Amino acid sequence: MKLCMIGTGYVGLVSGVCFSDLGNIVYCVDKDINKINSLNKGLVPIYEPGLEEILKKNHKQKRLFFTSNLKKAVQNSDIIFICVGTPTKKNSNSADLKYVFNVANELKKLISKYKIIVTKSTVPVTTGDKIEKILNNLRKKKLIDVVSNPEFLREGEAIRDFTYPDRVIIGTESKKANKILKSLYMPIIKKSSRYINTSRRGAELIKYASNSFLATKISFINELANLCEKTGVDIKDVSLGMGLDQRIGGRFLRAGPAYGGSCFPKDTRALIDIGNKFKTDLTIVKSVVSSNDSRKTLLLERVKSILNNKLKNKKIAVLGVTFKPNTDDMREASSVPIINYLNKKNSKISYYDPSGEKIEFKNLKNVKFSKSITSACFNADLVILHTEWNDFKLLNFKKLVKKTNFKIFDMRNIYSPLKMKKLNIKYFSIGR
């Protein structure tokens, strides 16, 4: 099939590349000419393991095209995916849909034969109805069907999540559109995935509900970790014991510093907003958001108490700053408030992250990027393990720090408290 992906961010680019790898002809469209030019040179603007190789292969085999010419891409395609950003509006919880509606208004002028318009961007319930309204003339002429097809891609695992999804959700009442999309996804569905056809609004809500539930699991285990610290229980035992119950499941039960990223914070807030718009108070999601937000302050208190409230001139190494491993994404990463706070308290912070230096810390006078784990940790009073990159999983801290009296704050429970005790290292972690 011939597809047009509008927006070449994490969703549009990964989906477009993977669709082309299934044998489809894919036009990836973006207004950002520089981005299109670098993509045409095979340069990938996002950090996604494995993406560059698949992109180059399909671009070379002329199945994958990058263009800023929306008209040409739309006219050459059967299915048009809207993959533009839906960020949280400033000083509000609601999703900003201006990019989505801009695309809908542009499409109005470009469609003269039947096309399926698919929203892959995460959009609030009823957005498909609004897009349909903008394209009402085309709808009346039966030239379009507007479908919701949310993605469930995790950053750093996006190719695997696309190729082996737990489910493909298609929200449409159109039998014709459903049949076409089912055949598009057939190569993936055969790989033991489940293809679910729901109403359009149902598909829109499933996305928010899924992300908010995952965020709920994480906040739940993070709060249990607080209780474990008071009761001398190991949170890893609790996660394991809970997770073996098939109804709960063991994934997304790892206690940590607080969830971050471009989705959980945005989608939980947007779901609360959708609830308000439909006069439904989503108290659980609200408590998840406030629990996660207050966790960042709680972590600062932990750092302060580990250093006996003496932060000035303390040398602090931070290993990993991204919101999760295998990405360079810093959006809502819990490292940002922590490092900003320590900077204000005049600690001396050196950080290392395998994905490189971060703009977020560039102008902080007490913060410097170290090019290696060794240089970051040398002579540190405290080493904070913030992100669980594989690079940090087998470190010899005594050799790295090269001083007798130092502490470790392992925010991802990578190491064993018992082993640290045997090594005579002052070790702190989460929920243990």
Stretch that binds ligand UDX, among 170-178, 197-205, 249-257, 414-422 (CB under 6 A): 249-257
205 CB-contact burial (10 Å; exposed 0-12 / middle 13-18 / buried 19+): buried
CA dihedral (195, 100, 30, 42) positive or negative: negative
Which of 220/361 has CB closer to ligand UDX? 220
Shortest gap between Cβ of 332 and ligand UDX (angstroms)?
A: 8
Q: Binding to ligand UDX by residue 256, rule CB under 6 A?
A: yes
Query: How many angstroms separate the CA atoms of 135 and 106, rounded?
Result: 10
Q: Tell whether residue 254 is a contact of ligand UDX (CB under 6 A).
A: yes
Of 21, 30, 145, 155, which lies in the binding site for ligand UDX, with binding defined by CB under 6 A?
155
Tokens of 282: 């989503």
Cα–Cα dist 215/354, whole Å: 26
Q: Nearest approach, Cβ of 219 to ligand UDX (angstroms)?
A: 9
Q: Which of 59, 269, 324, 407 binds ligand UDX (CB under 6 A)?
A: 324
Whose Cβ is closer to ligand UDX: residue 168's or residue 263's?
Answer: 263
Residue 378, C-beta contacts closer than 8 angstroms, at least 6 positions apart: 400, 401, 402
Active site residues: 263
Q: Cβ(239)–Cβ(250) under 8 Å? A: yes
Which has the closest alpha carbon to 272: 248, 253, 293, 290?
A: 290
Residue type, 107: L
Per-residue binding letters, 77-116, with ligand UDX (x by CB under 6 A): ----------------------------------------
End-to-end CA distance of the chain: 53
Q: Give 11 or 125: the residue with its C-beta nearer to ligand UDX.
A: 11
DSSP assignment of 253-305: ----S---SSSHHHHHHHHHHHHHHTT---HHHHHHHHHHHHHHHHHHHHHHH
Among 82, 214, 285, 303, binds ligand UDX (CB under 6 A): 214
- How many residues interact with ligand UDX (rule CB under 6 A)? 19
Which residue in this structure is represented by tokens 């502490």?
407
213 lies in the binding site for ligand UDX (CB under 6 A):
no
Helix (H) or strand (E) holding 131: helix 127-134
User: For ligand UDX, what does the binding mask look like between residues 259 and 298, x meaning CB under 6 A?
Assistant: xxx-xx----------------------------------
Distance CA 240, CA 229 (A): 17
Q: Which of 154, 201, 286, 304 binds ligand UDX (CB under 6 A)?
A: 154
Q: 66 vs 259, which CB is nearer to ligand UDX?
A: 259
Confirm or reject binding of residue 72 to ligand UDX (CB under 6 A): no
Compare residues 5 and 74 and give the one whose CB is closer to ligand UDX: 5
Provide the angle, in degrees to the nearest 10, between the axes of the packed helices 51-60 and 10-21: 50
| Interface region with ligand UDX, contact rule CB under 6 A, candidates 21-29, 190-198, 252-260, 296-304 | 252-260
The footprint of ligand UDX (CB under 6 A) covers: 151-155, 211, 214, 218, 252-254, 256, 259-261, 263-264, 323-324
